[in-house]
Structure 1
Amino acid sequence: MLREAVRQTVTEVLQILLDADREAFLRQHEGRKNGYYPRKLETAFGQVKLAIPRDREGKYYPSLLQPYARRQVDVGEVAIALYAAGVSQRKAAEVMSLLLGHRYTHETISAITDQVLEAAEAFQKRPLPEEMAFVYL
């Protein structure tokens, strides 16, 4: 019950911020409103449904949301932390559904951990600039 109240408050605050952001953009660029489109966003308080404002010229995008992002919570970080702790993929999916209020399958968890591990490996193997000196102890 408390979680739902917090999620509703988060939804209302985000919606107010989105509307204010569009108003500021329209004042600066002398544009016109053009309604909203629906979008779901995963937050630390569960999934919220937002009405993303748009402008007539299609130039506006909310500054507080990353384009095409569906989560404010980094699911990859949560999945990797659970994986590193030795939690099975099925159990990790259960834990994440409790934490984030959205059901993830063990296949999704596997895909997320694979992507993050590939990115970490690419980071470790990247070439370092010549100016960068470091000591390994």
Structure 2
Amino acid sequence: MDQDTLQMILREAVRETVTQVLQALLNADREAFLREHGGRKNGYYPRKLETAFGQVELSIPRDREGRYYPSLLQPYARRQVDLGEVAVALYAAGVSQRKAAEVMSLLLGHRYTHETVLEVVCRILLEKKKKTTP
């Protein structure tokens, strides 16, 4: 077995483990919420989440009254790793846009173009400039 195949098998095993752990945490979080606030379970809805180990598919639990939202997920967030933070860190380190796109693709398990990296960095730097300017 070559190195690339072994890495792919290992990455998949880690991704499956991350999925199982996150799913167990989500279910335990809902149970704790229902014990504290009352209410009843109301099934699940699907959601994809990008992690440092690749994209995972989760079943997000919900309650009948619609008051529960998982404490470990940000509303509407689709990434556990902040794309902007990674892009700015690579930019600050002097990494080229194309190389940054390759690194982000490897880290986040999704293909990014150098144009996307530039757009994200520019948007974040512009937001930071607006916050610091009175």
Q: Give TM-score scaled by structure 1 length.
A: 0.84
1:132 is aligned to none
**Residue of structure 2 aligned with 1:82, choices 81, 90, 99:** 90
Q: Structure 2 CA distance, aligned partners of 1:114 and 1:78?
A: 13
Structure 2 unmatched ranges of 5 or more: 1-8
**Gapped regions of structure 1 (runs ≥ 5):** 127-137
Is the aligned partner of 1:6 residue 2:21? no
Q: Which digits, 9 at most, give the CA deviation of each residue in 1:2-36, with x for residues without a partner?
A: 11111111110000000010111112222111111
Give the equivalent residue in structure 2 for 1:72: 80
1:112-127 → structure 2 map (5 Å cutoff): 112-126=120-134
2:33 & 2:51 partners in 1: Cα distance?
A: 25
Q: Secondary structure at the match of 1:73?
A: coil
Aligned match for 2:27, one of 16, 19, 42: 19
Write the letter of the residue equivalent to 1:77: E
> Residue type of the partner of 2:119?
A
3-state SS, counterpart of residue 110 of structure 2 = coil
Secondary structure of the corresponding residue to residue 47 of structure 1? strand
Deviation of the 1:46 alpha carbon: 1.4
Q: CA deviation at 1:110?
A: 2.2
Distance 1:30 1:77 in 2: 38
Query: TM-score if structure 2 supplies the norm length?
Result: 0.85
CA RMSD of aligned residues (A): 1.4
SS across alignment from 2:68:
coil
Identical counterparts, % of pairs? 77
- The size of the alignment, in residue pairs, is 126
Alpha-carbon deviation of 1:101? Answer: 0.8
Match of 1:37 among 45, 59, 65: 45
Helix, strand or coil at the partner of 2:46: strand
User: Which structure has more helix as a fraction of its residues?
Assistant: 2
